[in-house]
A and B are shown apart, each in its own frame.
Chain A
Amino acid sequence: MQPFDGALAELIMVDGTLTADEITLVEDYLTEKWITPVPEALGATLWLDASDTSTIVESSGSVSQWNNKGSLGNFTQAISALQPTTGASTLNGLNVLDFASDYLVSADAASAYNDLHNGEEYIVAAVVKFGTVANPNDFYGLFGNNARSTVNIGATLYFDDRLSLSRNEWLVNLISKGSGGQPVAANTSSDNFVTPNEFAVISLLADPDNGTAADRSGFAVNDGSLVKNNTDTFAVSASDATYTMQVGAVGNSVGELTGSVAELVVVTGANATESNRQQLVTYLTEKWDVQPVPLQVGATAWFDASDPYTIIETSGSVSEWRDKSGNGYDLTQGTGTAQPTTGTRTLNGLNVLDFDGSSDYLQGAFGGTLSQPNTIFAVFQNDAASPADYIYDGDDGTNRHAFYLSSNKYNLFAGGNPNGGTIDTDPHISKAVFNGAGSSLFIDGSSVFTGSVGTQSMDGITVGARYNGANFLDGAIAELIVVDGTLTADEISRVENYLANKWGITL
Chain B
Amino acid sequence: MTMHWYTWQTKNPGFDTWHTAVKTGLGMPWIGENQATGEPEPDAQQTTDYTAVVEVAADDWRAPVSDLIAGTYPDGLGTPCDPPPEPELP
B49 neighbours in A (Cβ, 8 Å): 334-336
Q: Which among A308, A400, A469 has the greatest number of chain B C-beta atoms within 10 A?
A: A308
Which residue of A312, A330, A336 is within 8 Å of B34 (Cβ)?
A312
In the complex, chain A residues 365-403 whose Cβ is within 8 Å of any chain B Cβ: 388, 400, 402
B46 touches A337 (CB 8 A): no
**Chain A contacts for B75, CB-based, 8 A:** none
Contact with B along A307-338 (1 / 0, CB 8 A): 11101111001011000000000101111111
Say yes or no for A342: interface residue by CB 8 A criterion.
yes
Q: What residue in chain B is nearest A21 (Cβ atoms)?
A: B39
Q: How far does the Cβ of A505 sit from chain B's closest Cβ, in whole Å?
A: 23
Q: How far is the CA of A399 from the CA of B66 in the complex (A)?
A: 33
Measured CB to CB, the closest approach of chain B to A485, in angstroms, equals 24
Q: Please, which residues of chain B bring their CB within 8 A of the CB of A359?
A: 3, 51-52, 64
| Cα–Cα, bound, A411→B89 (Å) | 10
**Contacts known (A312-B33, A417-B90); A319 close to B45, Cβ less than 8 A:** yes
B77 interface residue, CB < 8 Å from A? no
Interface string of B42-86 (1 = CB under 8 A from A): 001111111110000000000111100000000000000001001
Separation of A469 and B83 alpha carbons in the complex (Å): 13
Across-interface contacts of A317 in B (CB, < 8 A) = 47
Interface residue A470 (Cβ < 8 Å from any Cβ of B): yes
Q: Which of B36, B37, B47 contacts A314 (CB 8 A)?
A: B47
How many A-B residue pairs have C-beta atoms within 8 angstroms? Tell me.
99
Residues in B whose Cβ lies below 8 Å from that of A358:
3, 64, 83
B9-42 interface mask toward A, CB cutoff 8 Å, 1 = contact, 0 = none?
Answer: 0000000000000000000111111111100010
State the CA gap A417–B89 with chains docked (Å): 10
In the bound complex, do residue A356 and residue B3 qualify as a contact, i.e. CB atoms below 8 Å apart?
yes
Contact (A469, B52) CB under 8 Å given A337-B64, A339-B47: yes
Q: How far is B46's CA from A411's CA once the two chains are assembled, in angstroms?
A: 33
* Residue among B41, B45, B64, B87 with the highest chain A CB neighbour number at 10 A: B45
| Residues of chain A contacted by B47 (CB below 8 angstroms) | 314, 317, 319, 334-336, 339
Which among B33, B34, B41, B47 has the highest number of chain A CB atoms within 10 Å?
B47
The answer on a CB contact under 8 Å between B52 and A314 is: no
Question: Is A337 a contact of B89 with CB atoms below 8 Å?
Answer: no
Chain B residues contacting A309 (CB-CB under 8 Å) are 34-37
Q: Once bound together, how far apart are the Cα atoms of A404 and B28, in whole Å? A: 33
Bound state CA distance, A359 and B52, in angstroms?
9
Q: Which residues of A contact B48 (CB under 8 A)?
A: 334-335
Q: Which residues of A contact B36 (CB under 8 A)?
A: 307-309, 311
- B51 and A337 within 8 A (CB): yes
Q: Which residues of B contact A334 (CB under 8 A)?
A: 29, 45-49
Q: A332-B45, A411-B89, A471-B87 are in contact. Are A311 and B35 (CB under 8 A)?
A: yes
CB distance from B67 to the nearest CB of A (A): 12
Q: Is the CB of A320 within 8 A of B32?
A: yes
Given contacts A309-B36, A314-B47, A470-B87, contact A337 B41 (CB under 8 A): no
- Is A139's CB within 8 Å of the partner chain B? no
CB distance from B35 to the nearest CB of A (A): 4
User: A334-B48, A337-B3, A337-B66 are contacts. A314–B83 as well, Cβ < 8 Å?
Assistant: no
Contact A338-B52, Cβ < 8 Å, known A308-B36, A332-B45, A358-B64? yes
Please give me the residue from chain B that is nearest to A309 by CB atom: B36
* Bound CA–CA A334/B49 (angstroms): 6
**A431 at the A/B interface (Cβ < 8 Å)?**
no
- Is A466 positioned at the interface, with any CB of B under 8 Å from its CB? yes
Q: Is B3 in contact with A312, judged by CB distance below 8 angstroms? A: no
A339 to chain B, nearest CB (A): 7
Q: How many angstroms from the CA of A417 to the CA of B86 in the assembled complex?
A: 19
| Contact indicator B89/A320 (Cβ below 8 Å) | no
A residues neighboring B (CB under 8 Å): 307-309, 311-314, 317, 319-320, 330, 332-339, 342-343, 356, 358-359, 388, 400, 402, 404, 406, 411, 413, 417, 466, 468-471
Q: Would you mind naming 15 contact pairs between A and B with Cβ atoms under 8 Å apart?
A: A312-B35, A314-B31, A314-B33, A319-B45, A332-B45, A334-B46, A334-B48, A335-B47, A337-B63, A342-B35, A356-B3, A406-B90, A411-B89, A466-B90, A471-B87
The 6 closest A-B pairs by CB, nearest first: A308-B36, A312-B32, A332-B45, A320-B45, A308-B35, A413-B90
